[in-house]
Structure 1
Amino acid sequence: MTTSVDVVVIGGGQSGLAAGYHLRRLGLDFAILDAEAGAGGAWQHAWESLHLFSPAAYSSLPGRPMPVQAGEVYPDASHVIGYLTAYEQRYELPIHRPVRVQGVHRDGQLLRAETDSGTWRTRAVISATGTWWRPFLPAVPGRAAFRGRQLHTVEYRSPRDFAGQRVVVVGGGNSGAQIAADLAYTSDLTWVTQRPARFLADDIDGRALFDAATARRRALDAGTTDTGGVASLGDIVAVPPVREARDAGLLKASPMFTRLTTNSVEWSDGTSTAADSVIWCTGFRPALSHLAPLGLRGPRGHIPTTGTRAVGEPRLHLLGYGDWTGPASATLIGVGRPARDAARDIAELLDVPTRGSGRAART
């Protein structure tokens, strides 16, 4: 089966929904192809205790504020899933799921998205698949020899699974700190980081991080001094569970070990710690394999972009992969502006008359 639309959006998580909102608002003919069986994107696969860094009012997609979650300053993952579900229903976004895009190809004047359920021919593509589906594991000596359990952030669910175990958590970012805090009370925890853990001030949350990322992008675009952005503030947001574990003396980071053995981790000075499990909170890479047929991949696996538009293929936009596709574009609050810019750019490229308003204008 072959279907034709003006725009195909690949990914139905927060970035895909933000793109859909603006495409709907402009009156473009589009479809969102989502590999998931249900709404919520990667939030469906988060660990049980995960909460946002920001209050609901500062965690909203364009057009509809996120409702406050009763009893919570920072909403949890289930609340985010409910919000995203209601969002796509409210704006009647044309989402097709589960549909997995296997490859995007040039097809004369069009692009062609080959999926596991048919072919989509389109004049433009917005790729919004994020990074959750491509976890990164570092090449640490001895990793293959370790006989205990190894898992990445994407596989972690609850401290119940590790009660009484000797657990090593690797990673000095937010995921590493939050999972370490989660395990600190019920496991024999060793938390290791590549560099000394850098906690942000307790009163800094996602609101300040978004402002810092935006200010840095504006400075770079203007050719003025780099402000340093979020990295200048620290690496770890002191959300309440992290703050509590830290203040209780349960969250102390050790330097990164140099190798694993069959049942332990070892440092360069010869000291070692026995381990039953190692949890790698070592980040992600952009999930872009579906774009490989276009031959656009650049340094570090990124596709060079101007704003969200691919330099080597003006019919392709990338949305929500990190600051290189828009300041704070991998966050709920940050993705709205680059999604708007991508939709407007596509409308101009396609020379499609736009309404400027429409069903997506409801709030």
Structure 2
Amino acid sequence: MGCCKEEEPKWLWVNGPIIVGAGPSGLAVSACLKENGVPSLILERSDCIASLWQQKTYDRLKLHLPKQFCQLPLFDFPENFPKYPTKHQFISYLESYAKHFSITPKFKQSVKVAEFDGVCGFWRVQTQDFQYLSKWLIVATGENAEAVIPEIPGIDKFKGRLMHTSVYKSGTEFINQRVLVIGCGNSGMEVSLDLCRHNAIPHMVVRNSVHILPREMLGISTFSIAMALLKWMPLRIVDKLLLLVANLTLGSTDKLGLRRPKTGPLELKNATGKTPVLDVGALSQIKTGKIQIMPGVKEITKIGAKFLDGKEGEFDSIILATGYKSNVPSWFKGSDFFTEQGMPKTPFPNGWKGENGLYTVGFTRRGILGTANDAKNIARDISEQWREFKGFCKNFCTTKNLSDNQGICF
């Protein structure tokens, strides 16, 4: 059945772009569109904005970067917020952002399929309730939509508590327990530190090499220093300077079982998206032995794990600090714009725009700074088309005599 036939049940016409995802990326692009006079509709699978932040983050989480690098376009953080806002402060900022721009997502709309219909020239976005139609589709689900659960032999045999960090809230649940934390990124480090501070006994698995940098150098954010230096020096020179200062302030991490990659931290981040760890206290606990470093896991057993060095250990709980991934391949169909991993094939800074009115925001591997850049580009591009298209929208809604349960006309 053609997508433009009136008899098709439960379909809603959206005059402006459809935005999939009400996280920071979706909010940012919606605000930028509104600033340019373009309406939009956000579809969100959960019942709140920024569901990853609200429902899948641990209690002690703070922004790793200073607030000026984490604010969305057109709306700054409150001046009284600390340099590194807490999780709850960031969520309150996002809620204020949505209220300021009168952004009201349509919640509990999980996108099953989004596909461009070449016959009528519109995007069809199917949820469990409706089929939405629009000239533009903005994918704002981002790089971290789904938890990554690794395939480790024997993982189903473990009799203790097994969870991903998306479920972890606080170390209060693990007092006096031996806990195996699999993963040594920022989440793995912070969860291990939190466990340590609640009198648990964390063992952190470090399978690959990892860059660890101090969060601040001489009282200044490491990220701020890096951004300033990049204006004047090549990236590889900046990497060498960062590592020099890191070795002076933190010492050799190799001696602790934390081997550094041969590629510098910024170059590695740009090439693979792998973020360096910004230390907030875990390293000192590793040095004292309160957080023990373990090699890669060979197999999970009923009572613990076997490691690649031949040793075995018993653990009460296992926490998977194995990160997140894009979920785009599960619902976005009919286009080769994305890789099998759900990332735009076109690299930054040009991955924000596809064909037939397709856009993406939040896939730059450059955090909220990248999101802000995408949002501004998308709003500018769509606003130029919108001036020509809004007349058609008004005429379409009028001639089709759409009622509230048939179409959405802004």
The answer to whether TM tops 0.5 is yes
Task: Give the greater-gyration-radius structure (CA).
Answer: 2
Q: Is the Cα–Cα contact under 8 Å of residues 344 and 351 in structure 2 kept in the other structure?
A: no
Q: Residue in 2 aligned with 1:360?
A: none
Structure 2 CA distance, aligned partners of 1:213 and 1:31?
A: 40
Structure 2 CA distance, aligned partners of 1:203 and 1:252?
A: 24
Structure 2 CA distance, aligned partners of 1:304 and 1:334?
A: 16
Partner amino acid, structure 2, of 1:250: K
Using the TM superposition, give the Cα deviation of residue 283 of structure 1 relative to its aligned residue in structure 2, in angstroms: 1.5
Structure 1 CA distance, aligned partners of 2:153 and 2:47?
A: 38
Structure 1 CA distance, aligned partners of 2:362 and 2:157?
A: 36
Q: Residue in 2 aligned with 1:65?
A: 76
**3-state DSSP class of the match of 2:145?**
coil
Using the TM superposition, give the Cα deviation of residue 193 of structure 1 relative to its aligned residue in structure 2, in angstroms: 1.1
> Which of 222, 243, 266 pairs up with 1:229?
266
Partner amino acid, structure 2, of 1:95: P
Taking only the aligned residue pairs, the percentage that are identical comes to 24
| CA gap 1:234/1:61 in 2 versus in 1, 3 angstroms | closer
**3-state DSSP class of the match of 2:48?**
coil
Structure 2 CA distance, aligned partners of 1:55 and 1:234?
A: 16
Q: Is the Cα–Cα contact under 8 Å of residues 309 and 315 in structure 1 kept in the other structure?
A: no
Structure 2 CA distance, aligned partners of 1:59 and 1:262?
A: 42
Partner amino acid, structure 2, of 1:332: I
| CA gap 1:126/1:209 in 2 versus in 1, 3 angstroms | farther
Q: Residue in 2 aligned with 1:78?
A: 88
Using the TM superposition, give the Cα deviation of residue 6 of structure 1 relative to its aligned residue in structure 2, in angstroms: 2.4
| CA gap 1:321/1:251 in 2 versus in 1, 3 angstroms | farther
Post-superposition CA distance 1:203-233 (Å, at most 9, x none): 2647349839988xx98xxxxxx98626379
> Which of 211, 220, 238 pairs up with 2:227?
211
Q: Is the Cα–Cα contact under 8 Å of residues 329 and 340 in structure 2 kept in the other structure?
A: no
Q: Residue in 1 aligned with 2:67?
A: 56
Q: Are residue 140 (structure 1) and residue 149 (structure 2) matched?
A: no
| CA gap 1:34/1:206 in 2 versus in 1, 3 angstroms | farther
Number of aligned residue pairs: give it.
338
Q: Are residue 278 (structure 1) and residue 289 (structure 2) matched?
A: no
**3-state DSSP class of the match of 2:34?**
helix
Partner amino acid, structure 2, of 1:89: K
Partner amino acid, structure 2, of 1:229: L
Structure 1 CA distance, aligned partners of 2:29 and 2:107?
A: 17
Structure 1 CA distance, aligned partners of 2:126 and 2:36?
A: 26
Q: Is the Cα–Cα contact under 8 Å of residues 69 and 75 in structure 1 kept in the other structure?
A: no
Q: Residue in 2 aligned with 1:222?
A: none
> Which of 294, 306, 312 pairs up with 1:254?
294
Q: Residue in 1 aligned with 2:360?
A: 318
Using the TM superposition, give the Cα deviation of residue 263 of structure 1 relative to its aligned residue in structure 2, in angstroms: 0.8
Q: Is the Cα–Cα contact under 8 Å of residues 214 and 222 in structure 2 kept in the other structure?
A: no
Q: Are residue 179 (structure 1) and residue 187 (structure 2) matched?
A: no
Q: Residue in 2 aligned with 1:124?
A: 136
| CA gap 1:39/1:210 in 2 versus in 1, 3 angstroms | farther
> Which of 184, 190, 195 pairs up with 2:208?
195
Q: Are residue 308 (structure 1) and residue 351 (structure 2) matched?
A: yes
Post-superposition CA distance 1:259-318 (Å, at most 9, x none): 11111111233211101111111112112145432243424343423623455x342112
> Which of 19, 22, 28 pairs up with 2:32?
22
Q: Residue in 2 aligned with 1:223?
A: none
Q: Are residue 113 (structure 1) and residue 125 (structure 2) matched?
A: yes
Structure 1 CA distance, aligned partners of 2:29 and 2:282?
A: 33
Structure 1 CA distance, aligned partners of 2:27 and 2:275?
A: 30
Structure 1 CA distance, aligned partners of 2:327 and 2:378?
A: 19
Q: Residue in 2 aligned with 1:35?
A: 45
Unmatched tracts of structure 2, length 5 or more:
1-9, 236-262, 391-410
Partner amino acid, structure 1, of 2:278: V
| CA gap 1:269/1:304 in 2 versus in 1, 3 angstroms | closer
Q: Are residue 269 (structure 1) and residue 309 (structure 2) matched?
A: yes
Using the TM superposition, give the Cα deviation of residue 351 of structure 1 relative to its aligned residue in structure 2, in angstroms: 6.2
Structure 2 CA distance, aligned partners of 1:188 and 1:349?
A: 58
Partner amino acid, structure 1, of 2:162: Q
